[in-house]
Amino acid sequence: MLILFLACTPLDPEAKPDDTADTAAPQGPFRVTILHTNDWQSHMLGFGPNREYTPGTTGDDDTVGGLARLATKVAEIKAASDRPVVLYDGGDWMAGDLFQLLATTEAAELSMMGSLRYDAVTLGNHEFDWGPQVLGTMISLADARGVQTPILASNTVPNASDSGDDLLEAHFESGRIQSHAVHELDTGLRIGLFGILGDSAQSITPAVTPASFSPATDASIEAVAALEAEGVDLVVALTHNGVTDDPSTSPDDLLAADVPQIDVIVGGHSHTPLFEPRTVGSTVIVQAGALTQYLGQLDLAQDDEGNWTVESYQLHELDDEILGDSDVTSEVDAYKAEVEAGPLVDIGYGYDEPVYGVPASMPATGCTETALGNFVTDAFRHAMNALDPADPIEFSFESQGVIRDPIDHGQAGVQGFSDAFRVLPLGFGNDDLPGYALVDFYVTGAELLDVCEVTASVSPSYGCNYFIEVSGMRCNLDMSRGQFNRAQSIERQLDDGTWESIDSSKDATALYHVAVDSYVASLMGILESLTYGLMVITAKDESGVEYTDVDSMVFDADPSTPEVDELKLWQALIAYGQSFDDADGDGVSDLPSAYAAPAGRIVGYD
């Protein structure tokens, strides 16, 4: 038996995978093709400058991805197949592009999954970004539009005694969201499915409250036992769990080892394009990168003893050689028009409105300092200090986990509003505008050193989401030393570009004014548990008094009004980008060439 683990939406036992499935009577061992995606993150137009994306033609743009191209490739594979074809997704289908702003009015992402006829999806951590009630609303909206895409969530636990998640809870009670399901194909093949949100992904999903999650392995064992009792031939696990290069720390590898009955894991969360399937025992693990850039194709065959083997596997890049499906293009364009006529009117930008030019592509490469990270953190300091020059921010930080998209230069180098927004798209504030707010507070020199230590000691063990990009300072690391003793010193950059040392001893009392986003600020307490109490960063006011909640730290962009005027991360990025001159005379401000490469702010990390 082969078990696949899916981490997004539940499966309808009555649903059929597609019209092109082999409808012949069962004859001996089964064969099946599993198509898979993960981490759409609302990228319905794909990745690259949106202004250059042309799905209706080929050979004229450098963008990749997009639902129109995805639809074409899925249809092409189904039409050519001599076996049943199913389509699954591993979670995080929303949050990352402007289409997320239609969550409570159109449920655009889930509605498009219905149009593309996904056979099952699971829930990722970003489906909970706006809380369980909004997630419940999105599912109801999609259902009202006729979407029947099964949603599997085996370890999401609604709170029966709290009304704060009742809209989501209702979907569990009705069976719209299922813990596990059996999907019988026309050939007689019975596929058992379940969906899991991994333990690491759970730890960065505070907005799930009052709902919660059970441990991924425990829920998997329970789901597999239930599916085996129903006599399935193949068990597929949809997991929003992730993989790493080191099998000893790779969540999906560890899950496969703990639950060896799983035949196939269709994964997500780590945004890893696995160009070859991994195997742990008899379990096959696949993942298709992120942002609709790839479609995975896993062809399986069963032998006479019922064992499954991989006949072939491929990641199809959805590039400009693929002509996009015209019907899907029309649907996506209609949602784009909804965004422009609705949310963007209040925000004050057009979807593709040019905002700045870039000197080169700026990758968001994991676990290394990036020019993009330099740009982001510099933008925080610049925008905040322009608004409040009397009390300047000295240093600013950002986790690579919050920087969602790289910047693609494209053919013209011009970034539209949607492109800039995708770099820092997450969250929603107390002002009903999208995006996390910037916060400011004070820390000691020792705590600044601990920021560097997070990069040096936490990110190697827990992933690149914990790699901290910095502005205004330099971290000097020695990675040959033991864990939690690798950050050796810190320096601050002076106005003339030179550096001076900062006293980071435990008894130093000087306080430094710093900035970060509200999400990272809310998770600073996790450091204490991750480092066994060795690292504690405490946010303080200018007098050294500890803050007790994140809301009290939110930077006020306009103190003249009674309410706090939040400064969003994407607003800071655009304000900084537009502060530069129009170097090439095209009417758009241009980032300087210094942002074509990293500036050397993290020294010794390799």
Residues in CB range of 331: below 8 A, 6 or more apart = 112, 115
Residues in CB range of 471: below 8 A, 6 or more apart = 374, 377, 378, 380, 381, 395, 396, 397, 601
Nearest by Cα to 192 from 98, 111, 264, 123: 264
Please give the model's pTM, rounded to 2 decimal places.
Answer: 0.89
Cα separation, 118 vs 91, whole angstroms: 12
For residue 339, being part of any structural domain is answered with no
- 386 & 266 share domain: no
Angstrom distances, CA of residue 83 to CA of 8, 255, 264, 558: 24, 29, 18, 62
For residue 66, being part of any structural domain is answered with yes
Q: State the average pLDDT over residues 84-93.
A: 98
- 263 & 370 share domain: no
Look at residue 4 and tell me whether its pLDDT is greater than 70. Answer: no
Tens-digit pLDDT profile for residues 166-183: 999 999 999 999 999 999
Region of 501 on the Ramachandran plot (φ > 0 left; ψ -120 to 50 alpha; else beta): beta
Given the structure tokens 């009004």, which residue do they identify? Answer: 561
Last residue of a domain, one of 274, 303, 332: 332
- 222 & 101 share domain: yes
Which residues sit opposite 297 in a β-bridge? 35, 314
For residue 401, being part of any structural domain is answered with yes
Total domain count for the chain?
Answer: 2
Banded model confidence at residue 463, pLDDT cuts 50, 70, 90: confident
Residue 28: the pLDDT is 54
pLDDT greater at residue 136 or residue 433: 136
For 205-346, strand residue ranges (E) read 212-213, 234-240, 264-268, 278-280, 283-286, 294-302, 308-317
Tens-digit pLDDT profile for residues 114-127: 999 999 999 999 99
Q: State the average pLDDT over residues 133-161.
A: 97
Cα separation, 293 vs 329, whole angstroms: 16
- Asked if 198 and 269 count as a contact pair (C-beta separation under 8 A), the reply is yes
- Asked if 148 and 116 count as a contact pair (C-beta separation under 8 A), the reply is no
- Asked if 553 and 514 count as a contact pair (C-beta separation under 8 A), the reply is no
- Dihedral sign computed on CA atoms, order 129, 130, 133, 138: negative
- Asked if 64 and 318 count as a contact pair (C-beta separation under 8 A), the reply is yes
- 80 & 218 share domain: yes
Residues in CB range of 522: below 8 A, 6 or more apart = 206, 550
Average pLDDT across the chain, whole number: 93
- 255 & 174 share domain: yes
DSSP, residue by residue, 137-193: HHHHHHHHTT----EE-SSEE--TT-GGGHHHHHHHHHTSEESEEEEE-TTS-EEEE
Tens-digit pLDDT profile for residues 54-74: 999 999 999 999 999 999 999
For residue 347, being part of any structural domain is answered with no
- 317 & 362 share domain: no
Q: Minimum mean pLDDT among 11-15, 270-274, 412-416, 460-464: which range?
A: 11-15
- 319 & 360 share domain: no
Last residue of a domain, one of 297, 332, 367: 332
Cα separation, 72 vs 67, whole angstroms: 9
Last residue of a domain, one of 332, 363, 385: 332
Nearest by Cα to 563 from 574, 575, 554, 573: 554
- 44 & 91 share domain: yes
- 361 & 327 share domain: no
Cα separation, 408 vs 446, whole angstroms: 37
DSSP symbol at 568: B
- Asked if 111 and 142 count as a contact pair (C-beta separation under 8 A), the reply is yes
- Asked if 256 and 280 count as a contact pair (C-beta separation under 8 A), the reply is yes
Nearest by Cα to 284 from 294, 276, 292: 276
Token pair, residue 463, equals 């992933």
CATH of the domain at 589: 3.90.780.10
Q: Kindly report the backbone phi and psi dihedral angles of residue 250, in degrees, each rounded to the nearest multiple of 5, phi listed first.
A: -75, 115
Angstrom distances, CA of residue 208 to CA of 42, 95, 331, 520, 526: 19, 15, 30, 16, 16
Look at residue 218 and tell me whether its pLDDT is greater than 80. Answer: yes
Percent of the chain scoring above 90 in pLDDT: 86
DSSP symbol at 220: H
Nearest by Cα to 86 from 33, 19, 123: 33
Residue 522: the pLDDT is 86
- 515 & 555 share domain: yes
Residue 175: the pLDDT is 97
Tens-digit pLDDT profile for residues 231-267: 999 999 999 999 998 899 899 999 999 999 999 999 9
Cα separation, 259 vs 185, whole angstroms: 25
Look at residue 24 and tell me whether its pLDDT is greater than 70. Answer: no
- Dihedral sign computed on CA atoms, order 200, 254, 39, 159: negative
- 124 & 249 share domain: yes
CATH of the domain at 100: 3.60.21.10
Percent of the chain scoring above 70 in pLDDT: 95
For residue 343, being part of any structural domain is answered with no
Residue 26: the pLDDT is 41
Residue 29: the pLDDT is 87
Helix (H) or strand (E) holding 123: none
- 504 & 595 share domain: yes
Nearest by Cα to 451 from 537, 525, 380, 511: 537
Classified as helix, coil or strand, 419 is helix
Please state the separation of Cα 397 from the chain's center in Å.
19
Buried b / exposed e over 559-579, threshold 16 CB at 10 Å, is eeeeebebbbbbbbbbbbbee
For residue 342, being part of any structural domain is answered with no
For residue 38, being part of any structural domain is answered with yes
Look at residue 161 and tell me whether its pLDDT is greater than 90. Answer: yes
Which residues sit opposite 285 in a β-bridge? 265, 278
Banded model confidence at residue 535, pLDDT cuts 50, 70, 90: confident
Residue 373: the pLDDT is 98
Region of 414 on the Ramachandran plot (φ > 0 left; ψ -120 to 50 alpha; else beta): beta
Residue 538: the pLDDT is 92
Which residues sit opposite 300 in a β-bridge? 32, 310
Cα separation, 48 vs 418, whole angstroms: 10
Q: Minimum mean pLDDT among 313-327, 343-357, 385-399, 522-536: which range?
A: 522-536
Look at residue 499 and tell me whether its pLDDT is greater than 80. Answer: yes
Given the structure tokens 């995805």, which residue do they identify? Answer: 70
Tens-digit pLDDT profile for residues 312-346: 999 999 999 999 999 999 999 999 999 999 999 99
Residues in CB range of 201: below 8 A, 6 or more apart = 124, 125, 240, 241, 242, 269
Buried b / exposed e over 227-238, threshold 16 CB at 10 Å, is beeeebbbbbbb
Residue 494: the pLDDT is 94
Range of the structural domain that residue 568 is part of: 353-603
- Asked if 435 and 426 count as a contact pair (C-beta separation under 8 A), the reply is yes
For residue 548, being part of any structural domain is answered with yes
